[in-house]
Amino acid sequence: MQLRSTHLRRVIQGAFAILAVVALPTHAANHFVTIQGTTFVPDDLLIHTGDTVFWTNTDGLQHTVTSGNPCSPNGTFNSGVMDPDAQFSFTFTNLGSFNYYCVFHCIGGMRGNVTVEEPPTPVTPRAPSATLGQNYPNPFNPSTTIEYSLPTRTHAALSIFDSEGALVVRLDQGIRDAGPHHAEWNGRDRAGKPVGSGVYFYRLDGVTNVAPRKMVLLK
């Protein structure tokens, strides 16, 4: 009994997997046309591949929704005779312009058109990235402010180097939340001693794709 239950469960899981594969794309939409007297409302549609159009007969007449040449049911789709309150649908998978008619009333101008285009390519939003702003004031004396932002909570630090690439001091080091932050540098090194005038570079550590910046200390 246990083996039979396991087999049945696998069959059901396989069926759901097949359904998932053949499911229509997520962009597919439905469009509705009503048949009112001898008129299609609306009589012109712009849709995307995978979309489905539904025609509903809302009056007391019989109609046939058919594509192809006027008054000749020889095209892509044909509803057959639609009695009052009947509905016919067709899913468009090919690109192009599809004229359709009512065989019974096409001479009186009862016709419509469906234009099928490719669905728009979805735009993937860019993931937020870290930023490192220019210090201000710049040049500065005796202190300056550095602003930066983080896309996620992470360990970060502002590292300041002299013109030869030697580390001078690290500022605002630790776990920081996502969002804007700022730190001040008072022109002193790790030992608390004032540094001399010159060009210094600062870098945001703990993130990627953020270029270092340059600042000038004038005394």
Q: Annotate 65-93 with DSSP letters as a single string.
A: EEESSTT---SS-B---B-TT-EEEEE--
Indicate whether 125 pLDDT > 50: yes
pLDDT in tens, 10-62: 433 444 333 333 334 456 899 999 998 889 999 999 999 999 999 999 988 88
**Distance in angstroms (rounded) separating the CA atoms of residues 162 and 134:** 17
The range of the structural domain enclosing residue 74 comes to 26-117
Same domain, 137 and 194: yes
Do 109 and 145 lie in a common domain? no
Helix (H) or strand (E) holding 3: helix 2-22
Residue 191 lies in a domain: yes
Q: Same domain, yes or no, for 136 and 194?
A: yes
Q: Which residues contact 126 (CB under 8 A, 6 or more apart)?
A: none
Same domain, 159 and 104: no
Of 112, 106, 98, which Cα lies nearest the Cα of 68? 98
According to DSSP, the β-strands at 65-67 and 111-117 are unpaired
Inside any domain, residue 46: yes
Tell me, yes or no, whether 52 lies in a domain.
yes
Q: Which two tokens stand for residue 66?
A: 């058919």
User: Rounded mean pLDDT of 212-216?
Assistant: 96
Listing DSSP states for 10-49 in one string gives HHHHHHHHHHHHHSPPTT--EEEEEEETTEEESSEEEEET
In the predicted structure, residue 82 carries a pLDDT above the cut 60:
yes
| Cβ neighbours of 153 (radius 10 Å) | 11
Give the CATH number for residue 161: 2.60.40.4070
30-36 sheet: strands from edge to edge = 39-41, 30-36, 52-57, 87-91
Report how many domains make up the chain: 2
Q: How many CB atoms are closer than 10 A to CB 104?
A: 16
The residue count of the chain comes to 219
**Cβ proximity of 161 and 168 under 8 Å:** yes
Residue 97 and residue 77: Cα distance in Å, rounded? 13
| 15 within domain boundaries | no
pLDDT at residue 185, as a whole number = 96
Show which of 65, 82, 117 is a domain's final residue: 117
Full-model pTM: 0.49
Q: What is the pLDDT of residues 132-171, one digit of tens each?
A: 999 999 999 999 999 999 999 999 999 999 999 999 999 9
Residue 145 and residue 98 share a domain = no
In a domain, residue 12? The reply is no
Read off the CATH number of the domain in which 53 is found.
2.60.40.420
For residue 75, the one-letter residue type is G
Of 95, 117, 139, the one marking the end of a domain is 117
Q: Is residue 213, in this structure, part of any structural domain at all?
A: yes
